[in-house]
A and B are shown apart, each in its own frame.
Chain A
Amino acid sequence: MRTWLLLAVLVVPSVTLAEEPAIKLYAGGNAIWYDGVYDLPSDFELGGSGRASLSPHISLVSGVYYGIDHSYLRGAAGLRMTATDVNDPDFSVGFGIARHASTEPAIRPEEWATDATVGWRPWPVTMPKVVVGAQGSYGLTSRQASLLAGLRYEFAAF
């Protein structure tokens, strides 16, 4: 009996606290623009991204995407700081910096780039794992801007 009571004291608080997972992984797709003309996208991409949330404002972020039309693979990893209400799980704006590289340097040079990102969970009750968003990025060496609109599905959290 004492053992069961001890287990209840240890287990119940950990269940009721429902802590946010530190790491989340997403599958997703993007429409991406490289040339500053917002008519048709420069390419469509499929891939995945991940984040490690370290503190209310600071996260490590990364992603790998394959450009379908131009057949390239690109990746990025960096830091992002949330600049909106850190307790709003359904909408946020983040500013960050990431190291970018790709198999096609003419499309995405290897360089550091700053980014501004908007993310939104449009259906937090019925589809809590779906996120839509947009990002603007600026290469600090190439001075090249790129923009993307993306859809993400959270497939793992731990």
Chain B
Amino acid sequence: MTILEALLKLTGSMPGLVTLLEAAALAAPDLKPKIDQWIQALTQSASKDNLVSLAAALPAEIARIAQFKVDPHSHPSDAI
């Protein structure tokens, strides 16, 4: 399995999350514009083009991690 194929499998739970967000947008109309942004970002991040870019970046990062060279970044999604 290639990195890209693995990433495509990992996005399998995305449609369910989009459904939850759409339900939340219906329940809270004031938040709909922000939730719509989230849905758009989710959909775009799971696009094949984006996953190809991600798959291209990962081998170098894995190599650096293997050399114990850590480069932390702040991602709110890591907190959930």
Contacts and interface: CB of A to CB of B under 8 A. Distances in A.
Contacts of B42: 93, 116, 118
Contacts of B75: 51, 53, 59, 82, 86, 89, 92, 94, 119
Nearest to B7: A95
A42 interface: no
Tell which of B12, B17, B62 has the most Cβ of chain A within 10 Å. B17
The 5 closest A-B pairs by CB, nearest first: A119-B76, A136-B17, A119-B77, A53-B72, A133-B80
Interface in A100-157: 113-121, 131, 133-138, 145, 147-150, 152, 154
Interface in B30-80: 38, 41-42, 45-46, 50-51, 54, 57-58, 61-62, 64-65, 70-80
Interface SS of A by simple majority: strand
Given A21-B72, A53-B72, A118-B17, A93 B41 contact: yes
Contacts of B65: 54-55, 58
Interface in A6-36: 19-22, 24, 26, 28, 33, 36
Interface string B2-14: 0000010111111
Interface of A: 19-22, 24, 26, 28, 33, 36, 38, 49, 51, 53-59, 61, 80-84, 86-87, 89-97, 113-121, 131, 133-138, 145, 147-150, 152, 154
B78 A119 contact: yes
A138 B80 contact: no
Contact of B79 (A21, A54, A133): A133
B74 A89 contact: yes
Contacts of B46: 83, 95, 116
12 contacts: A49-B79, A49-B80, A54-B65, A55-B62, A80-B77, A82-B77, A83-B51, A93-B77, A96-B10, A116-B14, A117-B77, A152-B79
